[in-house]
């Protein structure tokens, strides 16, 4: 019995893993839904404090990065290694810009006194404090995933460069891209729920 390579199995495994990520964020979205239904006005008021420009820019950046990751998969299937590397580089660059924006945005918010357990939120209505706590947890967890996904794609890019991942064996790249798309998917929901509740 020789050891088979099972790309379909590897991809199935990755999808199953993505389901678990979905349920991890699902718990936070559940809390969001419940507290939104309890504090619609406070959520709207808190939403007005958010920086829509940062949110919109980051949405566009993540969508672009997702497109680039998909391009990398198409490119490796056509055996265009340079294009794979450029696309992956673009994806990772987008990830870095996204995190940098996040840093600027959080700095601004924290300096305005919006952070969990802050005196300003403690003095405000209870729903706002819930909104910002959820916002920091959800976006923080998402940011952690951006970091993990970016690192994963760098690692994949190195293996593409070395020729370990090539047009005949690219399931690693496919799975890395799948993970990255999940990061994008989660953000697609975070964006309207936190930034566009006006």
Residues 92-121 that bind another protein (CB under 8 A): 116-117
Can you tell me which of 81, 102, 136, 150 binds another protein, judged by CB under 8 A?
Answer: 136
Q: How far apart, in whole angstroms, are the C-alpha atoms of residue 187 and residue 181?
A: 10
CB of 111 to another protein, least distance (A): 18
Nearer to another protein among residue 87 and residue 157 (C-beta): 87
Nearer to another protein among residue 40 and residue 103 (C-beta): 40
Nearest to 156 by CA among 71, 92, 107: 92
Query: Is residue 38 at the binding interface for another protein, with CB under 8 A as the rule?
Result: yes
Query: Is residue 130 at the binding interface for another protein, with CB under 8 A as the rule?
Result: yes
Can you tell me which of 45, 93, 97, 193 binds another protein, judged by CB under 8 A?
Answer: 193
Number of DSSP helices (H) and strands (E) in the chain, helices first: 7, 0
Query: Is residue 189 at the binding interface for another protein, with CB under 8 A as the rule?
Result: yes
Q: Measuring CA to CA, how many Å separate 108 from each of 94, 120, 135?
A: 21, 14, 15
**Site size with another protein, rule: CB under 8 A:** 77
The pair of three-digit structure tokens given for residue 134, joined into one six-digit string: 């959820």
Can you tell me which of 49, 52, 100, 104 binds another protein, judged by CB under 8 A?
Answer: 52
**DSSP states of 91-147:** HHHHHHHHHHHHHHHHHHHHHTT-STT-HHHHHS-HHHHHHHHHHHHHHHHHHHHHH
Query: Is residue 144 at the binding interface for another protein, with CB under 8 A as the rule?
Result: no
CB of 28 to another protein, least distance (A): 6
CB distance 192 to 55 below 8 Å: no
**N-terminal to C-terminal alpha carbon distance within the chain:** 62
Can you tell me which of 64, 81, 102, 152 binds another protein, judged by CB under 8 A?
Answer: 64
């Amino acid at each position: 019995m020789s050891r088979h390579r099972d790309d379909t199995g590897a991809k199935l495994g990755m999808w199953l893993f993505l389901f678990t990520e979905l349920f991890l964020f699902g718990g936070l979205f559940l809390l969001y839904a419940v507290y939104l239904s309890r504090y619609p006005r406070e959520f709207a008021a808190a939403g007005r404090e958010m920086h829509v420009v940062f949110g919109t820019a980051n949405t566009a950046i993540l969508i672009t990065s997702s497109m680039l990751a998909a391009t990398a998969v198409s490119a490796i299937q056509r055996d265009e290694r340079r294009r794979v590397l450029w696309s992956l580089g673009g994806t990772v660059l987008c990830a870095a810009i996204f995190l940098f924006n996040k840093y600027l945005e959080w700095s601004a918010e924290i300096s305005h006194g919006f952070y969990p357990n802050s005196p300003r939120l403690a003095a405000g209505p209870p729903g706002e404090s819930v909104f910002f706590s959820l916002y920091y947890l959800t976006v923080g967890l998402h940011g952690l995933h951006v970091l993990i996904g970016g690192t994963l794609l760098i690692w994949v890019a190195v293996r593409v460069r070395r020729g370990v991942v090539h047009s005949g064996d690219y399931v690693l790249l496919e799975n890395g891209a799948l993970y990255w798309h999940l990061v994008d998917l989660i953000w697609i929901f975070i964006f309207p729920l936190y930034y566009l509740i006006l």
